[in-house]
Structure 1
Amino acid sequence: MPAITVDNVLVLPRLPELDPAGTAYRPVRRLTTAQQGFEGEGFAVRRAFAGVSLPELDPFVHMDHIGEVEQAPGEPQGTPWHPHRGFETVTYLIDGAVEHQDSNGGGGLITDGDTQWMTAGSGILHIEQPPERLVQSGGVTHGVQLWVNLPRAKKMSPPRYQDIRGKHTGLVTTPDGGALIRVIAGDIAGHAGPGITHTPITVAHITIEPGAQVDLPWDPAYNALAYTLAGHGTVGSEVRPIQEGQLAAFGAGDALRLTADRVQGSRSAKLELFVLGGRPIREPVVQYGPFVMNTSEEVQQAFEDYQAGHLGVIPAQRLPHTS
């Protein structure tokens, strides 16, 4: 798994050791299994939030787990040009390559461990495609796309694009060095990630060695979710088993307990988790297709604005990306 890593995690800053007597470890409120779906031009994804209500996810709306899949030459696919309004898309790529371009002039090539963070805000058009070299050669694709809601007051913010290189991700380990924690946005115990967010959230990719345990401090005002990208382990104060393709939604508390099984399967030598949470917005959510607004009337207005060309114009030329 080529996401950003280090040769020796013991050189990294470490999480504090938590006092079990004074720590409220969060229980697992719900454990669900992602459903298979298709996106864009027909590539398969796992719908990570299937079966979880929006109030439990708030401030998140949607998440797709892409791969891990080995594609033959000619098989890699992307999405056509399409609009968004009212939220942010966060594409975290663990393996492979994706080119992004939007109608606001943003875009670039992301690859192993990079993140593209697009604030659609008042409206934007964008496209995500594999680079031509990947289409020709085939290869592994593995990543996550997350939709982060915007509060009513910021839904019509100007669009914005952040190109976050994997090398800028905040890296931290546990007191015993048993895990690598990549902080993409927000912070964990004071260790910050580079993503700039409109909505207070924390997003991290955690790799846990077989048999190792992570006691992760977590803002008690945030909700907490952990999705299994690969491997087997347990989560929560009650030690619930979890495996690839499953999502744990946690209850109240100020820390998460995450543990990798001592014996992992052939698909992954370690437990890989995508852990996220944020301060709930607690506003009405009406999501239809590519728009996330507060009312049905606002969604209808978004469609009308898109059809009238008010959400942007497809650029005449493709951005000159390099591989």
Structure 2
Amino acid sequence: MKKKSSFSTRGQRADIGDMVIYRILPNRYADAVGPIVFLDHIVPNKQTTINKEGTGAHPHRGIATLTYILNGEGEHFDSAGNYGKIHSGGVQWMKAGNGIIHDETLNSDSKTDSELVHGFQFWINLPSNIKAEAPAYLSVEGNAVPFKTLSENKGWIKVILGGFEDLNSVIPNYSEQFLYHIHLEAGAQFEIELADKLEVAAYLPTLPASINDEKFNGGEFIEFDRKEGSVELTNTNGEACDILLFGGENYNEPIEAEGPFVMNSKLDIANAYRDYYNGDYGKIDYEKQRVKV
């Protein structure tokens, strides 16, 4: 049986500098999909000014950030001394744990002639015991992201988070969760079965598509019911289109979120701010981290 859509909505503008960003999650209907509590879409845009200063160093606690870059080059710095650079198709994951300061840049890809910049950032809520752990960082270049061509050359699927058939992401999971990038050729169709009680959503970055026989426009976020069932994706365009399908099991602990912190109580939030202002999260040494690589 096909899953039914619960609602659909569009994001709100949340630009940073020259980057046009739509905040997709949270929205007026949903605060989270499984453990995923935040999604920003950096819409496709040709970059005319190189960003060397980052988006601004800022703290996090209690979450993991996951940045997926379709087009461009992402550079990561954090106060735990981690540094990384990924290119088109790559993924950066950072466990904020008990507190960290990080910064990111997003520029056109130095390995290609394209000036296009396009990407996403997700925040993944961590279980309370993992929130207490030390920060960690992992980067995965595009050619190392698990990938499979669909039958009859209908397109392909990339597993950014979780698993699909024999594909498994190296990004750590602390609960059942998944993030798939599905690329469908013109007129192609793809169907996937999803288990009971999973919270599931789809996002159409640029082009419209039909999902379980309903038509949705580019830029729409769609959430589904929580019963076991299938999601059937159909590309109704005359060109290839991309769809993000993501979700996971319900986060069953209390959630208290404020600014860059997602914790389990108001006291946890107060402690997160206290430790940040006390300097416990450390500092970023940009030049030293670049030199180490």
Say yes or no: TM over 0.5.
Answer: yes
**Aligned mate of 2:214, from 210, 235, 240:** 240
Deviation at 1:163, TM superposition (A): 0.8
1:66 aligns with 2:42: yes
Corresponding residue for 2:6?
Answer: 29
User: Given residue 34 of structure 1, which amino acid in structure 2 is its aligned partner?
Assistant: G
How high is the TM-score relative to the length of structure 1? Answer: 0.83
Within 5 Å, give how 1:1-323 maps onto structure 2. Answer: 24-39=1-16, 41=17, 43-49=19-25, 50-54=27-31, 57-74=33-50, 78-130=54-106, 139-236=115-212, 239-251=213-225, 252-261=227-236, 263-264=237-238, 269-315=239-285, 317-320=287-290
190-199 or 180-189, which moves further after superposition?
Answer: 190-199
Equivalent residues of 1:73, 1:138 under 8 A apart: no
Secondary structure in structure 1 of the residue aligned to 2:267: helix
For residues 236-262 of structure 1, the C-alpha deviation after alignment (integer angstroms, 9 at most, x for no partner) is 2xx11122211110112232111110x
For residues 268-309 of structure 1, the C-alpha deviation after alignment (integer angstroms, 9 at most, x for no partner) is x32211111111112221111110011111111101100001
Secondary structure in structure 2 of the residue aligned to 1:210: coil
Equivalent residues of 1:88, 1:117 under 8 A apart: yes
Secondary structure in structure 2 of the residue aligned to 1:48: strand
User: Given residue 258 of structure 1, which amino acid in structure 2 is its aligned partner?
Assistant: L
Structure 1 residue runs of 4 or more that deviate by more than 4 Å after TM superposition: 74-77, 131-134
Deviation at 1:153, TM superposition (A): 2.0
Deviation at 1:200, TM superposition (A): 2.2
Output the CA distance in 2 between the equivalents of 1:74 and 1:118: 24
312-321 or 104-113, which moves further after superposition?
Answer: 312-321
Equivalent residues of 1:91, 1:144 under 8 A apart: yes
Secondary structure in structure 1 of the residue aligned to 2:15: strand
User: Given residue 233 of structure 1, which amino acid in structure 2 is its aligned partner?
Assistant: A
Deviation at 1:317, TM superposition (A): 2.9
Q: Taking every aligned residue pair, what percent have the same amino acid on both sides?
A: 28
Compute the RMSD of aligned alpha carbons. Answer: 2.4
Output the CA distance in 1 between the equivalents of 2:200 and 2:88: 25
For residues 150-183 of structure 1, the C-alpha deviation after alignment (integer angstroms, 9 at most, x for no partner) is 1122211211101111112111233333121001
Which residues of structure 2 form unaligned runs of 5+?
Answer: none
How high is the TM-score relative to the length of structure 2? Answer: 0.91
Output the CA distance in 2 between the equivalents of 1:196 and 1:122: 17
Output the CA distance in 1 between the equivalents of 2:86 and 2:41: 16
Equivalent residues of 2:22, 2:40 under 8 A apart: yes
